[in-house]
Amino acid sequence: MAILTDLPDLLEDTRDIILETTEGFWTDDYIERQLEKAHQIASAKVKLVKMIWTVTLQTDADPEAGYAQIVDDREILLPSTFISIDEGGVYYNDDVVKSTSLKEIKDNNKNWLDAEGTPHRYYLRGDMLGFDKQISAGDTVRIYGIKMPDALSDTQAPFDEDYRTTGYRYLLVEYAVGMCLKMKKDKEWLFYLQPKVGSFWVGLQEMRFELMDDNDEDYGLIPADNLARPHGYGLTRWPDWSQF
């Protein structure tokens, strides 16, 4: 039988550990917020919830689902759940586009803003995805990447129901218990949340090692892509979550 399958189950497990089975010092709302915080931290740190985002480009503002607006001739806004691009990479009209940086593009071509044709390079600028050449309405962009999971709820299991994470769902409870104890100024919270050695952070390290050890470095995910080196570009703009 699966355990910790939804938000009520996680809440009940947390309350069992802190010996307060109904609302008292800690409200359900507080505990649920800590569970969701742990859910987001784990997803951002371990980078395990995969996504494939495919959009058709348009010039009009306020694009509907499945479309993305072209900004400044060469950029599009990434989805709000986006974390990073993985080894699957980026495709423009089904052709692979290699990663680069905006600085490299500008250093190698002073007239790059006027460049037209099929893009061959992409760059990340904050929450924008850009290309080395102007992009056109009607073309398609496909991204293989990592995203934030759907929020926990009565019907939503942790980590988008990824079966590989079942044995690590307890970490959400570990974090919530630690935050409950911290709120009550009980020093035992350090056992759960002390940076690097607390059970939550050690568990995240184990989770990352176990689940990310089999990453495909030769693009087995995409049969049509025969390049023999990874071109995924990972973001490093996440804060040190251990302070929370």
Residues 69 and 14 in one domain: no
H/E element, 38: helix 28-46
Residues 90 and 107 in one domain: yes
Look at residue 72 and give its three-state secondary structure: coil
pLDDT in tens, 14-57: 999 999 999 999 999 999 999 999 999 999 999 989 999 999 99
pTM of the predicted protein model:
0.80
pLDDT in tens, 67-124: 999 999 999 999 999 999 999 999 999 999 999 999 999 998 888 888 999 999 999 9
Residues 143 and 171 in one domain: no
Longest dimension (CA), the chain: 66
Domain span including residue 40:
7-47+150-212
For residue 150, what pLDDT is reported? Answer: 96
Tell me which residue has tokens 């290699």. 98
Higher-pLDDT residue of 114, 244 = 114
pLDDT in tens, 170-206: 999 999 999 999 999 999 999 999 998 999 999 999 9
pLDDT in tens, 140-179: 999 999 999 999 999 999 999 999 999 999 999 999 999 9
Residues 130 and 160 in one domain: no
Residues 54 and 132 in one domain: yes
Domain count of the fold of the chain: 2
